[in-house]
């Protein structure tokens, strides 16, 4: 059975999340399963690198599945894009080892959260940026973010109802960049993330940026291991899954994913 790996981009505001849910819920995974069945007649199990929540976008989600009969990757890509809804695009398809699994093989993930920090809303940014009218102190946010980098118990930033076996995660980067009164971005890169973790990290940093909390409060919040100590969950619309790192699992020619400045960066780069 040939095994395929897909690089998928989607507008998350059109879906109830990645994972298939109750009947009637429109999900990215469900659309991919239906598209493969329409093309091949096979109902496959599509595995993603992780589950993005309702409203969260992806530039480089990675998915895998097996088929009973082989199809050329280029033909499969064209066929999928021909039947998928306009909010989903398969950017690349390749065959992979039989034991490759998009979830289990992932080593790192990179998310980017975009903020429009201006008193006046921006209609052109409305679906991709969270609007924060009050001026943010980017320097204070960056200092607060430094307390969170490293391997920690991130219980304070996990949403209720998570089924994670452990709340310990390694956060390789948490960068805050941009200019008050304009676009601000928060880049989070780690070995894995708990449910709503990135949005809860962002919501906590926004408390500092708006002067409601001190920089030291973030370190205290991390140590508390209690969700009630952290800031509110930031809106989903500002968040995008930007890259997934698989090391050598995808071979020597990693895919490239777009960055916010229009440049490209390899999705298999260990610094992604």
- Which residues are identified as catalytic? 53
Helix (H, G, I), strand (E, B) or coil at 249: helix
Q: Output the six-digit token pair for 186.
A: 């928060």
**Beta bridge pairs of residue 177:** 185
Phi/psi of residue 265, nearest 5 degrees? -140, 140
The answer to whether 257 and 265 are in contact (CB under 8 A) is yes
d(C-alpha 112, C-alpha 92), whole Å: 21
Determine how many CB atoms are found less than 10 A away from the CB of residue 110.
Answer: 25
For 223, the token pair is 């140590």
CB-CB contact of 250 with 270 (8 Å): no
As to burial, measured by CB atoms within 10 angstroms (0-12 exposed, 13-18 middle, 19+ buried), residue 132 is buried
Beta bridge partners of 240: 57, 112
**Token pair in block for residue 251:** 């071979």
Nearest Cα to Cα of residue 250 among 225, 227, 272: 272
Q: Report the C-alpha gap between 254 and 53 in whole angstroms.
A: 26
- Tell me the residue ranges of DSSP E strands in 117-255: 130-131, 150-153, 168-178, 183-190, 239-245
């Amino acid at each position: 059975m040939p095994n395929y790996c897909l690089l998928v981009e989607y507008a998350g505001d059109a879906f109830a999340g990645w994972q298939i849910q109750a009947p009637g819920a429109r999900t990215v995974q469900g659309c991919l399963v239906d598209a493969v069945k329409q093309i091949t007649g096979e109902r496959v199990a599509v595995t993603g690198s992780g589950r993005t929540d309702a409203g969260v976008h992806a530039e480089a989600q990675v998915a895998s599945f097996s088929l009973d009969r082989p199809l050329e990757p280029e033909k499969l890509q064209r066929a999928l894009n021909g039947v998928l809804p306009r909010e989903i695009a398969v950017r690349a398809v390749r065959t992979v080892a039989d034991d490759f699994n998009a979830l289990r093989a992932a080593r790192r993930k990179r998310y980017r959260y975009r903020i429009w920090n201006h008193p006046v809303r921006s209609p052109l940014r409305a679906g991709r940026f969270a609007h924060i009218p009050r001026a943010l102190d980017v320097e204070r946010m960056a200092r607060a973010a430094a307390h969170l980098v490293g391997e920690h118990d991130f219980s304070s930033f996990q949403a209720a109802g998570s089924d994670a076996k452990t709340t310990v995660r390694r956060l390789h980067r948490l960068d805050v960049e941009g200019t008050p009164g304009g676009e601000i971005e928060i880049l989070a890169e780690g070995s894995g993330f708990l449910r709503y973790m990135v949005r809860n990290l962002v919501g906590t940093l926004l408390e500092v940026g708006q002067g409601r909390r001190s920089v030291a409060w973030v370190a205290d919040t991390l140590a508390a291991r209690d969700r009630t100590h952290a800031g509110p969950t930031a809106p989903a619309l500002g968040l995008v899954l930007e890259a997934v790192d698989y090391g050598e699992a995808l071979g020597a020619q990693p895919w490239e994913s777009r960055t916010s400045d229009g440049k490209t960066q390899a999705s298999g780069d260990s610094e992604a």
